[in-house]
Amino acid sequence: MKNHHLPEEQPRLIQAQSGGSIPESQTSAPTPLLDQGHPVDWWFIFKFNAASFPGCDGKVSKTGIFGGEVQDYHGRYSQQYVYASSENPTLQKGKGCVGATLTDPLGATFGQVYNNSYYYVVWNDQFYNDPHIEGCEKSCGAPWGHSKGMLAWNEAGEGFVMQVSTPSWPASGSAQYPRQTDGNTLGCIKDDDIEVSQHFFALKLTPGDLLDVLEAMQNSSVVTDPTNKQIVLNGGPSNIQNNVQELGWISHSKTSMKAKLSSGVTLISKPSRLPVPPWQMVSAMLDGVPLRVASWWAHPEIYSTTPSTPCTCWNEELGKPGAIQIATSGNWEGKKIGLTGGEGLDHNHAKIGVSMLPNTPYSIFGDMNQQGALSPGYAYQTQKCSSSQNGRGGLFFVLDDKTLFQSMTSLLEGDSAPTTPPPKK
C-alpha cells in the first residue's frame, strides 16, 4: 500500500543566543558538533525527566532560537542532560538547556543545518499536522515506522544522521522554510515533549554511509514527504537524490537489514511487516547477546525475558534472541530515574540499551519501545503478533565502545521488570 505524496510556577529558563551561526559553504560537510566549530565523529545525549533533574540553567527568553515561543508547561519539564562523544565516551553533565542554545551539542549540530543551506531530510511519526502528512491524523500509526530523526549532507554526500526520540521535533530543517503553527525549538513545542526523558544520537556519515542509512529508512517506512521543503531539501549526488525520492512510502519489506558503517557502527533496520518484538530482533541480529533496555515501557508492555522464554511471534531466519531485561529505573549521581512509560514526571521516552556481557560492550540507540507481543494473546486475549511496536518499523545504531558501554551501563543500573507478566488485561 502506498500513501500519495509520502513517498505518526516559575518562569521558563532558556539560554538565549544572539545572532546565528556563520553560513557554511556547501563544500564543507555538516557534522556532529559539541559546540560551534567543535566537530566529533559521534555524540549521545540523554535528557533527564522532570522528576529527576527539573528545569535547566540559562537566561530567561521568550523566543526559541529555531522558532516558537517558550512554553510554560507548568514547571513540568527538564532540559538538563548528560552527554558522551567520540572525543570523550564517558557520560558527563551538560550545561544550559539542551537543544535551546548554539553551544550545546544538540543545538549546535541542528543549528548548523537550520541556519545554513545544506540538504536535509527530517522524519517523525508525530508531526502533529505541521507539516501535514497525507493519510495521518496528527500522528502516523502502523504500518508507518515509529522513527524520528534528521539527515543532513553537502554536495558531495558527506554529512550526519541524528536520531531523536522527541515527538514534534524537529519539524523543519531550514529557517527558509519555517514551521507555520508551532515552535521548532525544544521548550517551544506545544506538546510537552521534554517532561519525560528523551535521547539524541548523532553520527558522522560518508556518502556510502548516507546511502545505507537511506536504504534503512526506506525499509523502516519512516514518515516524511520529499515534496515538502520544510522537511526535505534534496540535492547532491544523483544516487543520493534518487534514494531520497524513494522515502515517504509504506514499505512492503518483510526483511530486517544490517549494515556496518565506515565508523564501525552497526545499523539495524526493522520493517513494519516483520511482526516480531523489536528488541528481541536486535538481540538476535547481534548473535543473541543479552540486552538491558529502557524505552517507553507501557501497555501492551513486553516483560523481561530469558533465553528460554517462548516467543512464537518470530521469524526463524533472525536466529535466536538472548535475554531482554527491561530497565524500570536507572540513576545518575545517586538519584533514581524512572524508566517506564506513562503520564507523569518520572517517566522515560528514550529508547536505549546495553549488552549485559562485558566482552560485547554494545551501546544501542533505537527508535522503538518494547511493546507488543511474544505470542498471540500475550497481553490480552485478542492480541495479534502485529500488535503495537511489533507492527512498526524503526532504526537502531549499535556502538562497540568499552568506555561508553561502562558509562551507559551505570546510567541504566536499577530496577528491572519481572520475567513473569501479570494476568492478561
Quote the pLDDT of residue 19: 38
1 located within any domain: no
Quote the pLDDT of residue 10: 34
Quote the pLDDT of residue 359: 97
Percent of all residues in the chain with a pLDDT value above 90, rounded to a whole number = 89
17 located within any domain: no
Per-residue pLDDT reduced to its tens digit, 315-346: 999 999 999 999 999 999 999 999 999 999 99
User: Which three three-digit cell numbers place residue 93?
Assistant: 553533565
The mean pLDDT value of the chain amounts to 93
Q: What is the spatial distance between Cα 192 and Cα 197, in angstroms, rounded to a whole number?
A: 11
Same domain, 37 and 112: yes
127 located within any domain: yes
Same domain, 180 and 50: yes
136 located within any domain: yes
User: Which three three-digit cell numbers place residue 99?
Assistant: 537543544
Say which residue the cell 550526519 belongs to: 160
Q: What is the spatial distance between Cα 236 and Cα 240, in angstroms, rounded to a whole number?
A: 7
Same domain, 226 and 320: no
Q: Structural domain of residue 147, as residue ranges? A: 33-245
Same domain, 61 and 182: yes
425 located within any domain: no
Over residues 135-142, mean pLDDT = 93
For the chain, what is the domain count? 2
Domain C-terminal end among 245, 266, 286? 245
Quote the pLDDT of residue 59: 63
Q: What is the spatial distance between Cα 80 and Cα 48, in angstroms, rounded to a whole number?
A: 6
Quote the pLDDT of residue 48: 98
Same domain, 81 and 134: yes
Quote the pLDDT of residue 425: 67
Instruction: pLDDT band for 6, please (50, 70, 90 cuts).
Output: very low
State yes or no: pLDDT of 15 exceeds 60: no
Over residues 229-241, mean pLDDT = 98
> Could you write out the DSSP letters of every residue in 320-362?
----EEEB-EEEETTEEEE-S-SSSSS-B---EEEES-TTS-E
Over residues 252-264, mean pLDDT = 98
Same domain, 67 and 190: yes
24 located within any domain: no
Same domain, 327 and 384: yes
56 located within any domain: yes
Per-residue pLDDT reduced to its tens digit, 175-206: 999 999 999 999 999 999 999 999 999 999 99
- Give the CA count within 13 Å in the CB-facing half-sphere of 368: 32
Same domain, 290 and 178: no
86 located within any domain: yes
Q: What is the spatial distance between Cα 107 and Cα 80, in angstroms, rounded to a whole number?
A: 13
Per-residue pLDDT reduced to its tens digit, 281-295: 999 999 999 999 999
Same domain, 175 and 198: yes
Quote the pLDDT of residue 422: 84
Per-residue pLDDT reduced to its tens digit, 26-57: 569 999 999 999 999 999 999 999 999 999 97
